[in-house]
Amino acid sequence: MRTFTAREGWPALRAAWAAHLGPAELEALDETVVFAGHWHGDQTRPAGEPYVEHLLEATRVLVEEVGVTDVDVPRAAVLHDVVEDTACTLAEVRDRFGGRVAVLVDWVTKPPRGEGQSREEARAAYLERLDGAPDEAVLVKLADRLSNVQRLGTHPRPEKRRGYYPETVRFVVPLAERHPWFRDWFGAWRAEFGHLDGTATVARD
């Protein structure tokens, strides 16, 4: 099972992606990475790595492995958590990057919980909704989840490890069936982490 990192940072990835994207697309991503870096600031992932590494990991999968050349898709991947996890609004994303990018970001942003709705219910409803998402939004979500689960065995919270596996199998693996590369990757991932199966609990944030 291949895993992906982005520890080398944006300048190194940008240089490598010149073989995949044109100058205009790379310049568009320059702006997007700066914007995301501003809003995410010094946020870190559960294992302590800078948050922007997660955003670039997801984007790396789309550009290098899936072969996405429509720049709005990797831009949405860079921005996929900016509304959910920072004070940035969807309107700000729309004003800066256009309606299409904003729509993709909106699809992969968990909405606030409804009245009387538990965290688990809200999370399940969000994931179920993705079954009707545009294909480009599904690609962003698949790349996001790949980055999140590729090193699941090292996640510092045991309850997250136990909940994330069945949640991914239930909601995300069916989405991966639409895309051969993701289908094969998640198939290998299931074989690697199948020992975590055994509960249908929806993972907590």
Whichever domain contains 122, its CATH number is 1.10.3210.10
Query: Does residue 178 fall inside a structural domain?
Result: yes
What is the torsional sign of CA 54, 108, 194, 205?
Answer: positive
Query: Does residue 203 fall inside a structural domain?
Result: no
Q: How confident is the model at residue 198 (pLDDT cuts 50, 70, 90)?
A: low
Q: How confident is the model at residue 82 (pLDDT cuts 50, 70, 90)?
A: very high
Query: Does residue 153 fall inside a structural domain?
Result: yes
Query: Does residue 82 fall inside a structural domain?
Result: yes
204 pLDDT above the threshold of 60: no
Total domains in the fold of the chain: 1
Query: Does residue 4 fall inside a structural domain?
Result: no
pLDDT at 108: 98
For 110, the domain range is 10-196
Query: Does residue 166 fall inside a structural domain?
Result: yes
Query: Does residue 205 fall inside a structural domain?
Result: no
Active-site residue (options: 49, 64, 65, 85): 85
Active-site residue (options: 30, 31, 70, 84): 84
202 pLDDT above the threshold of 80: no
Phi (first) and psi of residue 44, to 5 degrees: -130, 165
115 pLDDT above the threshold of 50: yes
**Residue 85 a catalytic site member:** yes
Task: Kindly report the number of other CB atoms within 10 A of residue 140's CB atom.
Answer: 29
pLDDT at 150: 94
Query: Does residue 27 fall inside a structural domain?
Result: yes
Q: In this predicted model, what pLDDT tens digit does every residue of 21-51 receive, in sequence order?
A: 999 999 999 999 999 999 999 999 888 899 9
96 pLDDT above the threshold of 90: yes
Q: How confident is the model at residue 156 (pLDDT cuts 50, 70, 90)?
A: low
**Quick one: what percent of the chain has pLDDT higher than 70?**
94
pLDDT at 113: 86
**Residue 131 a catalytic site member:** no
